[in-house]
């Protein structure tokens, strides 16, 4: 994959983001580039990087753009979004919610939850065996910038308390240290702190990667925060704290008086950001599948999925980061169908056909009886088509599953094997337009929804009916637990619809919704029923579900408007 690294270079945010990006360049030797603003203050950190791997231009297409920044605006993420799949690493700012994927190595106090949050992503060092540890030694390091000048404050306090001979200081990379007392070991900026962390018994630093690295190496950590925000983060991570803006003498000395003992926490270095990036498979389509280029804020994330809501139409769409392709062959209708419903699709044929009779009756009422020709998109083994044939209509089906199409043809019904988005497959249909086009639990499987809707608008004659069913984004399951709903949503369902989004999306493509029918009522999914389990509670829940439309699926019937 081609990876562009976009680290933090602004003043006041230290050098950790840039150092991590430089490390990723080494871990991605054949594919990584780094974009930076050419700030002179960063030249020392970039001096050892191959100039051919540094750019100051955002151009071309990238598989991944890794935005490793303290603060990123929505406009910035939008600009990156147009060039590739955005991956935020420890990202702050209002652009966080608009990244395709988020990784957090450190805890956060606010902002959208990450897809992958794990301190082990820091690629922390192995704990020291203790052989190199020097009892009583104190390492003071506050990163590459230290704008609050905590280094000088902490060292002054320690020297005044008699710890001078035990202190090692690492100077910031981006500023000159103030006057240091004589006799101290003052080191220039280090390419890596690991040897020093293994040697020191205690490390005094601000909350950040150094605190985690020191803990993993076996040192006792004490934090002094440059801001209240950093102090709150240190408290959330359970690091000992000794002041904000300047060290508290009482708290610092009290902490140093405690026996060093074992470190508070340990993290095994079993992961790395580079390996996590390599495992990601960028989605083939990003942003709203109805409005290409429109990207919304994330509403739910997991390690393999991100769900967003389009700001234009309100539809919820999936971006998936696993490379597996969908197959809709015999196993999909047999083993997978049985695992979900307790029987195979063919064993369920008559039940599906019975539902098809009700659906066809509704469609004919919406069409005011003017239905003679029917196209069922994603017809599977043809239960709906068999109903249409029995009622004297002229049915035709299309599906990508060859075994299913062969079965439909055995029923004496015209059927085409292929995708509705395939021009050759559409050309093979027995007519150009239809009175009724249906998609029963099919529309959610398309990530190229804009192309599908254009195709459907051409297949339904003016005045004809488009009918479809799909999971309902405002049913009892979504209301009871959004987390469980999105987590269990099938990985090949690329959109989740509700009534407002359906009206907007279909209206844009020439359809006016005439009827919604809420289906899939499940009283057992109501919290009260789950607790009580009594028949009266089930009947009450069923009545509520039908009255207020809390079913987990719904049907949409829309008329193709006259040009």
On whether residue 310 sits in a domain, the answer given is: no
User: Which residues have a Cβ under 8 Å from the Cβ of 338 and sit 6 or more positions away?
Assistant: 344, 347
Closest CA to 235 of 253, 219, 211: 211
Closest CA to 465 of 370, 357, 352: 370
Residue 38: count of CB within 10 angstroms of its CB: 10
Task: Decide which of 222, 257, 292 is a domain's last residue.
Answer: 257
> In the numeric block, which tokens belong to residue 487?
């987590």
Residues 348 and 485 in one domain: yes
Residues 194 and 277 in one domain: no
Would you state the pLDDT for residue 424?
95
> In the numeric block, which tokens belong to residue 290?
């109805």
Would you state the pLDDT for residue 14?
65
d(C-alpha 312, C-alpha 293), whole Å: 11
Identify the H or E element spanning 514: strand 511-519
User: Which residues have a Cβ under 8 Å from the Cβ of 469 and sit 6 or more positions away?
Assistant: 359, 439, 440, 441, 519, 553, 554, 555, 556
Give the domain CATH number at 437: 3.40.50.150
Q: What is the pLDDT of residues 289-347, one digit of tens each?
A: 999 889 999 999 999 999 999 999 999 999 999 877 667 777 888 888 888 888 999 99
Q: What is the largest CA-CA distance in the chain?
A: 100
Residues 119 and 157 in one domain: no
User: Which residues have a Cβ under 8 Å from the Cβ of 548 and sit 6 or more positions away?
Assistant: none
Residues 234 and 103 in one domain: no
Residue 393: count of CB within 10 angstroms of its CB: 18
> In the numeric block, which tokens belong to residue 96?
């966080």
Would you state the pLDDT for residue 130?
63
> In the numeric block, which tokens belong to residue 343?
């029987």
Give the domain CATH number at 231: 3.40.50.2000
Instruction: Name the one residue in this structure whose structure tokens are 């192309």.
Output: 451
On whether residue 383 sits in a domain, the answer given is: yes
Residue 561: count of CB within 10 angstroms of its CB: 13
Count the domains in the chain: 3
Torsion of the alpha carbons at 385, 388, 392 and 395, rounded to the nearest 10 = -40
On whether residue 315 sits in a domain, the answer given is: no
Domain that holds residue 491: 330-560
d(C-alpha 131, C-alpha 406), whole Å: 73
Task: Give SS3 for 254.
Answer: helix
Burial class (CB in 10 A: 0-12, 13-18, 19+), 354: exposed
On whether residue 427 sits in a domain, the answer given is: yes
On whether residue 90 sits in a domain, the answer given is: yes
CB-CB contact of 183 with 115 (8 Å) = no
Give the domain CATH number at 15: 3.40.50
Residues 159 and 78 in one domain: no
Closest CA to 456 of 425, 420, 490: 420
On whether residue 444 sits in a domain, the answer given is: yes
Residues 33 and 92 in one domain: yes
Write down the pTM of the prediction. Answer: 0.86
> In the numeric block, which tokens belong to residue 345?
């699709």
> In the numeric block, which tokens belong to residue 352?
């599906």
Residues 161 and 240 in one domain: yes
On whether residue 321 sits in a domain, the answer given is: no
What phi and psi, each to the nearest 5 degrees, are found at residue 140? Answer: -110, 120
On whether residue 262 sits in a domain, the answer given is: no
Would you state the pLDDT for residue 266?
56
Residues 443 and 540 in one domain: yes
Residues 277 and 155 in one domain: no
d(C-alpha 321, C-alpha 161), whole Å: 54
Residues 240 and 338 in one domain: no
Identify the H or E element spanning 356: helix 349-366
Residues 96 and 210 in one domain: no
Partners of 496 in the β-ladder: 316
Per-residue pLDDT of the chain (563 residues; tens, 9 = 90+): 899 999 887 666 667 788 888 888 888 877 788 887 666 556 667 777 888 888 888 888 999 999 998 889 999 999 999 999 999 999 989 999 999 999 998 888 877 789 999 888 877 766 666 677 888 899 999 987 888 999 999 999 999 999 988 899 999 877 888 888 888 899 998 888 888 998 899 999 999 888 988 888 888 999 999 999 999 999 988 899 999 999 999 999 998 888 765 554 555 556 789 989 999 999 989 999 999 889 999 999 999 999 999 999 999 999 999 877 667 777 888 888 888 888 999 999 999 999 999 999 999 999 988 999 999 999 999 999 999 999 999 999 999 999 999 999 999 999 999 999 999 999 999 899 999 999 999 999 999 999 999 999 999 999 999 999 999 999 999 999 999 999 999 999 999 999 999 999 999 999 999 999 999 999 888 887 766 667 888 888 899 999 999 999 999 999 999 87
Residues 118 and 169 in one domain: no
């Amino acid at each position: 994959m081609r990876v562009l690294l976009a680290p933090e270079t602004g003043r006041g945010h230290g050098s950790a983001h840039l150092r991590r990006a430089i490390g990723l360049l080494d871990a991605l030797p054949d594919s990584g580039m780094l974009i930076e603003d050419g700030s002179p203050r960063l030249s020392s950190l970039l001096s050892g990087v191959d100039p051919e791997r540094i750019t100051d231009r955002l151009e071309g297409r990238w598989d991944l753009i890794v935005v490793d920044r303290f603060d990123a605006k929505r406009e910035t993420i939008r600009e990156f979004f147009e060039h590739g799949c955005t991956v935020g690493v420890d990202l702050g700012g209002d652009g966080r919610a608009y990244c395709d994927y988020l990784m957090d190595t450190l805890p956060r106090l606010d902002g959208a939850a990450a897809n992958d949050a794990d301190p082990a992503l820091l690629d922390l060092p192995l704990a020291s065996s203790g052989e190199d540890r020097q009892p009583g030694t104190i390492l003071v390091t506050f990163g590459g910038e230290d704008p609050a000048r905590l280094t000088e404050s902490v060292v002054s306090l320690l020297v005044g308390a008699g710890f001078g001979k035990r202190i090692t200081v690492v100077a910031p990379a981006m500023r000159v240290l103030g006057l240091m007392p004589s006799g101290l070991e003052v080191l220039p900026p280090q390419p890596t702190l690991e040897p020093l962390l293994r040697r020191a018994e205690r490390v005094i630093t601000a909350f950040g990667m150094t605190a985690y690295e020191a803990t993993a190496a076996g040192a006792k950590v004490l934090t002094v925060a440059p801001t209240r925000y950093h102090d709150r983060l240190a408290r959330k991570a359970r690091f000992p704290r000794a002041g904000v803006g300047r060290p508290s003498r009482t708290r610092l000395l009290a902490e140093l008086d405690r026996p060093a003992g074992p470190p508070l926490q340990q993290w095994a270095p079993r992961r790395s950001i580079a390996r996590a990036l390599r495992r990601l498979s960028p989605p083939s389509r990003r942003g709203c599948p109805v409005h290409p280029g429109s990207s919304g804020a994330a509403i739910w994330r997991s390690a393999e999925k991100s769900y967003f809501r389009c700001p234009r139409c309100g539809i919820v769409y999936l971006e998936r980061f696993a490379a597996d392709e969908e197959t809709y062959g015999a196993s999909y209708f047999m083993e997978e169908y049985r695992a979900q419903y307790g029987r195979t699709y063919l064993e369920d044929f008559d039940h599906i056909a019975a539902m098809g009779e009700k659906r066809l009756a509704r469609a004919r009422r919406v069409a005011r009886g003017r239905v003679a020709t029917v196209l069922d998109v994603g017809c599977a083994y043809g239960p709906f088509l068999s109903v249409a044939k029995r009622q004297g209509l002229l049915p035709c089906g299309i599906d990508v599953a060859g075994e299913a199409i062969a079965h439909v043809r055995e029923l004496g019904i015209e059927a085409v094997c292929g995708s509705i988005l395939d021009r050759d497959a559409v050309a093979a249909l027995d007519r150009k337009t239809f009175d009724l086009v249906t998609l029963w639990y099919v529309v959610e499987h398309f990530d190229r929804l804009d192309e599908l809707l254009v195709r459907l608008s051409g297949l339904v004659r003016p005045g004809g009916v488009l009918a479809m069913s799909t999971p309902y984004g405002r049913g009892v399951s979504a209301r009871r637990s959004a987390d469980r709903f999105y987590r269990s949503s099938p990985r090949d369902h690329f959109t989740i619809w509700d009534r407002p989004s359906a009206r907007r999306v279909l209206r844009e493509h020439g359809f006016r919704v005439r009827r919604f029918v809420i289906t899939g009522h499940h009283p057992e999914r109501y919290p009260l029923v789950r607790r009580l389990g009594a028949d009266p509670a089930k009947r009450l829940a069923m009545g509520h579900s039908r009255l207020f439309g809390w079913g987990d699926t719904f049907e949409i019937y829309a008329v193709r408007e006259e040009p």
